[in-house]
C-alpha cells in the first residue's frame, strides 16, 4: 500500500480529550474580553515542539504558547509551514479554559496561500523577512476553515 510522505511535517492535531465530548458550535467564540483584562499572568511559556528547515527549502515549526491567569488559561498550538516559492500554511489550535465557568473552548483554524500571493504583500528592502514572521503571516493568510467546539464540566 502506497502512503505519501508529508515532508513538511504538517499536522491537524487538536489535542486529546480524556473524557467527555466536545460540542460543535461555530458561533461560540473565545471571549477576547476576558483575555484583554489586566489580570496578572501567573504562568507563561513558549515551547518549540519541533522545527525543521525542510532541506533548505523553507521551514516547518510547531510551537505551543501557554498563558495562565487566575480566572482562565489560553493555549495556542501553531503549525507554521513555509515552502519557499510554493506555499505558506498555518494551522492554529486554541484552547481557552474558563476556570470560573468550568468551560473549555477549542478553535481550530486553517490558513494557506501560494507563496507568491503573500510575497506581493511584502514591502521594504527585505520583503522575505516578513515571510519568516509567523505572526505577520497569520494576519495575511486567507482563512480556509474554522471549527469551534466547547465542553462544559
Task: Give the global pTM.
Answer: 0.91
State yes or no: pLDDT of 19 exceeds 90: no
State yes or no: pLDDT of 26 exceeds 70: yes
Contacts of 126 (CB under 8 A, 6+ apart): none
Domain membership of residue 17 (yes or no) is no
Domain membership of residue 88 (yes or no) is yes
Domain membership of residue 52 (yes or no) is yes
Higher pLDDT, 95 or 17: 95
Domain membership of residue 16 (yes or no) is no
Domain membership of residue 91 (yes or no) is yes
Provide the pairing of β-strand 43-52 with 87-98. unpaired
What pLDDT, on the 0 to 100 scale, is given for residue 3? 66
Q: What is the mean pLDDT of residues 15-28?
A: 92
Domain membership of residue 7 (yes or no) is no
| pLDDT tens digits along 64-95 | 999 999 999 999 999 999 999 999 999 999 99
Residues 81 and 98: their CA atoms lie apart, in Å, by 30
Please state the domain count of the chain: 1
Domain membership of residue 83 (yes or no) is yes
Domain that holds residue 134: 31-152
Q: Supply angle C-alpha 150, 140, 106, rounded to 5.
A: 10
Environment class of 115 (CB within 10 Å of its CB; exposed 0-12, middle 13-18, buried 19+): middle
Domain membership of residue 19 (yes or no) is no
Amino acid at each position: 500500500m502506497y502512503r505519501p510522505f508529508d515532508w513538511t511535517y504538517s499536522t491537524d492535531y487538536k489535542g486529546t480529550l480524556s473524557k467527555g465530548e466536545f460540542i460543535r458550535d461555530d458561533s461560540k467564540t473565545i471571549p477576547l474580553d476576558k483575555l484583554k483584562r489586566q489580570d496578572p499572568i501567573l504562568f507563561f511559556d513558549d515551547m518549540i515542539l519541533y522545527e525543521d528547515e525542510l532541506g533548505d527549502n523553507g521551514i516547518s515549526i510547531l510551537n505551543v504558547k501557554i498563558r495562565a491567569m487566575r480566572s482562565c488559561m489560553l493555549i495556542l498550538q501553531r503549525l507554521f509551514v513555509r515552502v519557499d516559492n510554493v506555499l505558506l500554511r498555518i494551522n492554529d489550535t486554541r484552547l481557552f479554559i474558563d476556570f470560573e465557568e468550568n468551560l473549555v473552548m477549542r478553535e481550530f483554524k486553517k490558513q494557506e496561500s501560494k507563496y507568491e500571493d503573500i510575497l506581493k504583500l511584502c514591502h521594504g528592502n527585505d520583503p522575505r523577512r516578513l515571510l519568516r514572521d509567523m505572526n505577520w503571516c497569520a494576519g495575511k493568510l486567507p482563512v480556509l476553515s474554522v471549527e469551534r467546539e466547547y465542553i462544559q464540566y
